[in-house]
């Protein structure tokens, strides 16, 4: 039997799928509805001082017929009172004692104000606290959100204010709008956080109206930067999650988020070290019932692979992450085109001829121009594989090179420094590497 239950920094839930702090978690009604659908937890929309939102606060990028590849928002924290939110947290937890109810908090940078809201949140029965150090718009202009997450000293200071009085687990939600995500992560550890959530939204302008020159979406002719989420941000989120997971100075549980739309996306985050995974944009696009497929898909995959718990899966991809300097320079793949599947669209030829290494020819076969790879010239860049519209028509085939292996770090020790071009060419000739 597969057990999907998790423990993220002391916060337990029956499965790893949580709704992220956002419009879908703005009320007890919504969260209870989500729990009925099967979500394991929810992070309440951020609670803090009263705000007023503006209209036209969402913008999106659609591409090639797919809606909402990326979602941009300038929505602020909850526009409902702290009292109402805390009352609904207590009621939701009473109705769903086995689900994770996490309160996202953001108040002014005052120690006593933080102490007060933390104590009130604990009294409401929340399972944990998530500190919002990530909002890149609206709140950051007020000295909160990403204005805190971008300064490790502030991150450590406020986290410590919270952990001084908190008797429940504290997660710190990090902003991706920073050069090195590890520094605020280390600051959260210094502040005695129990775990880290990431990533929050990315600071973006979604687009410009080419007729009016207004920022999209427009509010009376005015627009500005907002927070970007959705499938387009997943690669950025995966990288930052792995950075936190691999840093020995941090070593904290992770709640991962950023572009998760299905169980496969979620599993990638778990394989890079996440305990729980948070979803927002996909729920806003398709509704709460997407979690049914997530639970089923993850369960089926684990059964197929022979895993019984997520503890056996978590972080299994981390050892495969390498710096460029440790990669084998002598490893070789070449592209191979399956002529039976090829539809002669010639996209591979065009891409290779114009923008890669000119190693695909168009040969006349049975009255058609058939793209054919010249293996001796193929450098294995994989561009043709990426542009091909037919699944498995182009594959990358490994070419055996004995047991030879040489990394860049090893090479720099072997060759004279500073390395000259002729030294590198001599190394390539020695190992039979094509020179282009």
Enumerate the active-site residues: 135
DSSP letter for each residue of 27-59: SHHHHHHHHHHT-SEEEEEEE-S-----SS-EE
The strand pairing partners of 18, in sequence order, are 41, 278
The strand pairing partners of 173, in sequence order, are 132, 197
Where helices occur in 214-324 by DSSP H, the ranges are: 234-246, 263-271, 281-286, 290-305
DSSP letter for each residue of 84-146: HHHHHHHHHHHH-TTSEEEEEE---S-HHHHHHHHHHHHHTT-SEEEEE----SSSGGGT-TH
**How many CB atoms neighbour CB 19 within 10 A?**
28
Alpha-carbon torsion, ordered 257, 260, 262, 266, to 10 deg: -40
Q: Which pair of structure tokens corresponds to residue 306?
A: 């022979």
Cβ atoms of 6 and 18 closer than 8 Å? no
In angstroms, the Cα distances linking 98 to 113, 175, 347 are 30, 29, 52
**How many CB atoms neighbour CB 147 within 10 A?**
18
Backbone angles phi, psi at 53, to 5 degrees: -90, 165
Cβ atoms of 129 and 121 closer than 8 Å? yes
User: In the chain, what's the furthest Cα-to-Cα distance?
Assistant: 80
Q: Which pair of structure tokens corresponds to residue 292?
A: 């049914």
- Among 312, 180, 160, 173, smallest CA distance to 247 is for 180
Cβ atoms of 162 and 147 closer than 8 Å? no
Backbone angles phi, psi at 51, to 5 degrees: -135, 165
């Amino acid at each position: 039997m597969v057990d999907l239950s998790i423990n993220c920094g002391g916060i337990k839930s029956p499965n790893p799928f949580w709704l992220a702090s956002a419009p879908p978690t703005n009320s007890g009604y919504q969260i209870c509805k989500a729990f009925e659908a099967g979500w394991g937890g929810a992070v309440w929309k951020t609670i803090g001082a009263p705000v007023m939102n503006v209209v036209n606060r969402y913008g999106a990028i659609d591409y090639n017929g797919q809606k909402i590849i990326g979602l941009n928002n300038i929505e602020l924290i909850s526009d409902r009172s702290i009292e109402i939110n805390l009352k609904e947290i207590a009621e939701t937890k009473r109705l769903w004692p086995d689900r994770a109810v996490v309160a996202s908090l953001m108040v002014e940078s005052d120690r006593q104000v933080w102490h007060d809201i933390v104590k009130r949140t604990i009294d409401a029965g929340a399972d944990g606290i998530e500190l919002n150090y990530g909002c890149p718009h609206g709140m950051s202009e007020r000295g909160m959100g990403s204005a805190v997450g971008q300064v490790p000293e502030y991150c450590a200071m406020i986290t410590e204010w919270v952990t001084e009085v908190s008797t429940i687990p504290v997660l710190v939600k990090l902003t991706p709008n920073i050069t090195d995500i590890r520094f605020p992560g280390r600051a959260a550890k210094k502040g005695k956080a129990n775990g880290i959530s990431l990533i929050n939204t990315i600071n973006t302008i979604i687009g410009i109206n080419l007729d009016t020159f207004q920022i999209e979406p427009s509010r009376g002719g005015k627009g500005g930067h907002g927070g970007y989420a959705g499938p387009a941000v997943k690669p950025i989120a995966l990288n930052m999650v792995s950075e936190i997971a691999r840093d020995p100075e941090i070593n904290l549980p992770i709640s991962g988020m950023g572009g998760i739309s299905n169980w496969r996306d979620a599993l990638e985050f778990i394989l890079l070290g996440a305990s729980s995974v948070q979803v927002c944009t996909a729920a806003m696009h398709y509704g709460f019932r997407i979690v049914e497929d997530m639970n089923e898909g993850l369960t089926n995959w684990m059964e197929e692979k022979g895993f019984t718990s997520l503890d056996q899966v978590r972080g299994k991809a981390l050892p495969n992450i390498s710096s460029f300097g440790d990669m084998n320079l002598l490893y070789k793949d070449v592209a191979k085109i399956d002529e039976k599947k090829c539809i002669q669209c010639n996209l591979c030829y065009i891409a290779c001829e114009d923008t890669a290494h000119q190693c695909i020819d168009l040969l006349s076969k049975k009255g058609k121009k058939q793209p054919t790879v010249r293996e001796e010239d193929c450098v294995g860049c994989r561009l043709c594989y990426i542009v091909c519209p037919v699944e498995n028509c182009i594959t990358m085939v490994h070419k055996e090179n004995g047991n030879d292996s040489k990394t860049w770090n090893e090479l720099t020790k072997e060759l004279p420094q500073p390395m000259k071009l002729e030294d590198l060419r001599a190394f390539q000739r020695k190992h039979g590497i094509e020179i282009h």
